[in-house]
Structure 1
Amino acid sequence: MKHFTIITLMLLCALAAGSTAARGQENVATQVATVYRPQTDTVEVQSAKMKRGIKNVVVVPVQYYAGPASEHYPVLYLLHGAWGSYRDWPRKAPLEQLATQYGVIIVCPDGQDSWYFDSPIDPTMQFETYVSKELVSYIDSHYRTYPTPYMRAIAGLSMGGHGALWLAWRHPDTFNSCGSMSGGVDITKFPGNWKIKDRLGKYEDNPQLWASHAVINLVPSLQPGQHITIDDGYDDIFYQVNLALHQALMERKIPHDFTIRPGKHTWDYWVNSLDYQMLFFSKAFKANAQHCQQAK
């Protein structure tokens, strides 16, 4: 009986120890999953130019925390379209998965309905300065980035497609790679739409001002050296202006990728397109890797 009691106690202790060990393993697994996962932050960045704070989503890949603290990462600035906000891309696309897959920090700024240029008539809409200077400076100072244009890309959909090319082509010292998805790349063809007149005034009052803010008209001043990708859907409202942009780039002999796929001006198209653009930027970052060490 005494031996039976001792054996029983030993079994109970072993079971308790096993249970404790199992719980410990679960806790470790939980801790690892908690620490080593992508992180999505919402940050408000103060704009000195606009004298107000602007919200942004920043998606950090799992490697940022799981890898060495000395490691730095390229950055993709991802712009929303008209009537949208900084929340659009994180809600519609698997940004945490893509950030981790490609080892990239993704930043989604709130561009409101600015068309991403500095409005000459509205001092509260100075988003060219905000994105290309103020936001980039904030991200570089608060995250482990490569502070070089060669490790920065900018892309967007619709209004954001126009904005991405506008900002990259006017600021090649900030962005070496750029992409447009269904971009409204010639605003002069749409004078009554999407609050553009609220940023530039009426088209009929100043057509030259409108022309100077249309990204297609930047092509004559471009020089080779940037990584450019442009795509659109066959049934998209901006199909013709994107085709014209492609032809203008061809005439200027500016290297670029140009893709037309089945699709309309929809999130289904843009989420699918983002996969291809992320791959394009990943290759561009690898091609530019020689600039990384000197930029840390």
Structure 2
Amino acid sequence: MLKQIIQKLIILPALCLFLNAQAAKVDTVTVHSQIMNRDIKAVVITPAKYSKKANYPVVYLLHGFSGNYADWISKDPAVAGLADRYNCLIVCPDGAFASWYIDSPVNSYWMFDTYVSKELVAYIDSHFSTVKDRTGRAITGLSMGGHGAITMGINHQDVYGAVGSMSGCMDLRPYKNDFAIKQILGEYDKDPKSWLDHSATGMVGKLKPGALKIIFDCGSDDFFAGINNAFHQQLLDAKIPHDYTVRPGGHTWEYWSNSVNYQMLFFQRYFNKLN
């Protein structure tokens, strides 16, 4: 009996080392933004079987208001395992405290649409073995990041083939005094059209049926539930195919940690159908 216990004590650490060796690799990279003239960090998760001999699809996963590039991996560590499960890269950009992933029309310090969709994508494609076109790229995020993913996806349909949002703020106009949006767009009353033009709800006219694979969801108790329901109806009226889900839950990490699993499956199906 003692011999068996000793054998197990020897085997267990070896097994743990093996499992860790097979886990996805989480790195932090620093990318210089030419348009904003500053260095910005991002998390890059590569699957355990990553090899330069293969090309991998990439999912860009955005944080929310007041967050940073490390939010996803620190608040939902299990997200790293999704890179292994779907054999893809996951990149978590930094969108600053409140950039809203917009190229600000009033302050050139905030140019995060260009940074993420052009500069960061170019960096990832040049430093990692990726599928270097829209068929191998998806973008999604939570809250502010959900807004950013949808709007950048629409603005850059040549860059991304699939887009998603979790609890995204699809219409910025009701929040003209909240979430520091006016530092990006200026005072609402001075240019209400700009607020609409930079909202997901104001960009639907740029979409053609089937041009983008779209998935978004929102918790039934979320304060953004109403504008997500309205965006869903707007897409239906425009006959834009999409997947929309309402689940129990609020604006919480518990909700997003669950939601991201469904979105990653959606993106994997998109990538696989094109292979």
- TM exceeds 0.5? yes
- In structure 2, the CA distance between the partners of 1:97 and 1:27, relative to structure 1 (3 Å rule), is closer
- The 3 A distance-change label for structure 1 pair 202 and 146 is same
For the 8 Å contact 2:23–2:81, the answer to whether it is kept is no
Moved more, 115-124 or 28-37: 28-37
> CA 1:207–1:27 in 2, change beyond 3 Å: closer, same or farther?
closer
**Higher share of residues assigned helix:** 1
Pairing 1:284–2:270 present: yes
Could you tell me how far apart the structure 2 residues matched to 1:229 and 1:138 are? 26
Give per-residue Cα distances to partners, 1:132-169, cap 9 Å, x unaligned.
Answer: 00000000000010001011000000000000000001
Deviations 1:212-262 (A, max 9, x none): 111111112211221100100111011111011000100111100000000
> Is the counterpart of residue 103 in structure 1 residue 87 in structure 2?
yes
**1:259-295 C-alpha deviation (Å, 9 max, x unpaired):** 0000100110011000110111110111121xxxxxx
In structure 2, the partner of 1:169 is 154
**Equivalence for 1:79:** 62
Unaligned regions of 5+ residues in structure 1, if any?
Answer: 1-22, 290-296
Correspondent of 1:49 among 32, 35, 46: 35
Asked whether the 8 Å contact 1:59–1:95 carries over to 2, the reply is no
How far does residue 31 in structure 1 lie from its aligned partner after superposition?
7.8
**How far, CA to CA, are the matches of 1:123 and 1:169 in structure 2?**
21
Shift of 1:27: 11
One-letter amino acid of the structure 2 residue matched with residue 144 of structure 1: S
- In the alignment of these two chains, the number of paired residues is 263
1:56-75 alignment to 2 at 5 Å?
56-65=42-51, 69-75=52-58
Higher radius of gyration, 1 or 2: 1
* Partners of 1:29 and 1:247 in 2: CA distance: 51
Q: TM-score, normalised by structure 1?
A: 0.85
Amino acid at match of 2:53: S
- The 3 A distance-change label for structure 1 pair 26 and 265 is closer
TM-score with structure 2 length normalisation? Answer: 0.91
In 2, distance between residues paired with 1:95 and 1:138? 22
User: Which runs of 5 or more structure 2 residues have no equivalent in the other structure?
Assistant: 1-9
Of the structure 1 ranges 87-96 and 185-194, higher mean CA displacement relative to structure 2 is found in: 87-96
Q: What is the alpha-carbon distance in structure 2 between the residues aligned to residue 54 and residue 158 of structure 1?
A: 21
Letter in 1 for 2:41: K
Q: Aligned match of 2:258 in 272, 276, 280?
A: 272
